[in-house]
Amino acid sequence: MNIRFFGQYLLEKGRITSQQLLDALEGQKHITAPIGTMALEQGLLTTEQIKQVLLHQRRTNQRFGEIAVALGFLTQAQVNQLLHAQDTSHRVRLGEVLLLKGYITIETLDKELKEYNKESERFVSEVSAAFSNVAHKQIVKTFIDLMLVMFTRFGKQDIIIERCETGKENVRLFRWIISQKFAGQDVKFNCLVSVPPKLLLQMASTMLDENVSTADDLALDATKEFINIANGTACAKLSEDGVSLKMLPPEVYETTTTPYPIQANDVICVHLASPDSKLEVAFEF
C-alpha cells in the first residue's frame, strides 16, 4: 500500500529533497495554478500537447485555453471548467509548484503522477454509493475507503460494506473496540472500530508478521497500530482536499469488561464484513 500525499510520495522516492518539498509547500500559498498543468493532472492533456500549446503561445501571445481549443486538444467547456477551478481553488497542486520552481521536469511530473494515481486507486464506486446521503460524507467516505485499503491490501482481508446507518442504537459493538479522537477546524469526532476476537488476532498477526493466537498486550498494541495507520492515512488523504485533522493515539476497550459509552447523538455507523467475520466502524460527531 502506498497512499501518501503527492509530495511525500516524491520525497520517499527520492525525486525531490525535503528542502524542495518544504519550499513547494510554502509556495502553494502564493502561486496560481496554470491551467496546462491542471489539465495534465486531470488527464485532459498530454505533455506533448502542452508543449505544442506553449510553442503557439510564444508565437501568438494568445491565451493557453484559446490555443488548446483551436488545436482541438480541449473543448471550450473543459477550458471553462479549468478556469473556474483556477479561480475557486485556494490551493495549488504540489506538482504544479514543483514544476514552476524547476524542481521537477514536466516529463517526470507526468510519469510520477500516473504512477501515483495508479497506486492511489480507491474503491470509489462501492464507497461512494454507500454514503450518498450521509452527513460529513467526505470524512466518512475517506476513513472507510482507507480502512478497506488497509484490510484488503495490507491485511489481505476481503472486506465489503454491508450498509451504512445513522443513530447510536444501530452501532454493533463486538468484543474489542479501538477508538481514536480527531479534531479539525470545524469538526471533532471519534472513530471507533469494533471487531470480534478472531479479527483482532488477524489484524495483530498482519502487523507482527507472525501467527498471534492470544489477545495479549502486544497483540492489542499491534491492533491499535493497524487502526492508527489506516486512520492516519485517511487524514493524510483528506489533507490533500483541504481538510486538516489532528489525531490522538488510539485507545482500546474490551467491551466484556469495560462498557463503551457512545455519548454523541450524531453517530454514523458502517457495517462491514469479511468472508468469515463482521466488523463495525462508527463515527461519533
Partner 1 sequence: MTDNKKVSVLAVDDSRTMLAMIATQLKGSNFEVVATASSGPEAVEKYKQLKPQLVLLDIVMPDVTGIDTLERLLETDTGARVVMVSSAGTEDTVRDCLKKGAKSFLQKPIHKEGMLHTLKNVCEEAGVEL
Number of residues counted as binding partner 1 (CB under 8 A) = 42
For the CA atoms of 79, 84, 89, 90, the dihedral, rounded to the nearest 10 degrees, stands at 110
Position among 57, 152, 170, 228 found at the interface with partner 1 (CB under 8 A): 228
Site for partner 1 in 150-189 (CB under 8 A): 154
Q: Is 240 in the site for partner 1 (CB under 8 A)?
A: yes
Q: Which region, judged by CB under 8 A, interacts with partner 1, from 53-61, 109-117, 120-128, 217-225?
A: 217-225
Position among 199, 238, 272, 279 found at the interface with partner 1 (CB under 8 A): 238
Q: Which is nearer to partner 1, 94 or 164 (CB)?
A: 94
**Least CB distance to partner 1 at residue 7 (A):** 7
User: Do β-strands 245-247 and 176-184 pair in parallel, antiparallel, or remain unpaired?
Assistant: antiparallel
Q: Which region, judged by CB under 8 A, interacts with partner 1, from 97-105, 107-115, 156-164, 214-222?
A: 214-222
**Least CB distance to partner 1 at residue 97 (A):** 11
Q: Is 4 in the site for partner 1 (CB under 8 A)?
A: yes
Site for partner 1 in 67-86 (CB under 8 A): none
| Residues making contact with partner 1 (CB under 8 A) | 1-2, 4-5, 7-8, 11-14, 17-19, 21-22, 25-26, 94, 154, 207-208, 218, 221-222, 224-225, 228-233, 235-236, 238-240, 244-245, 247-249
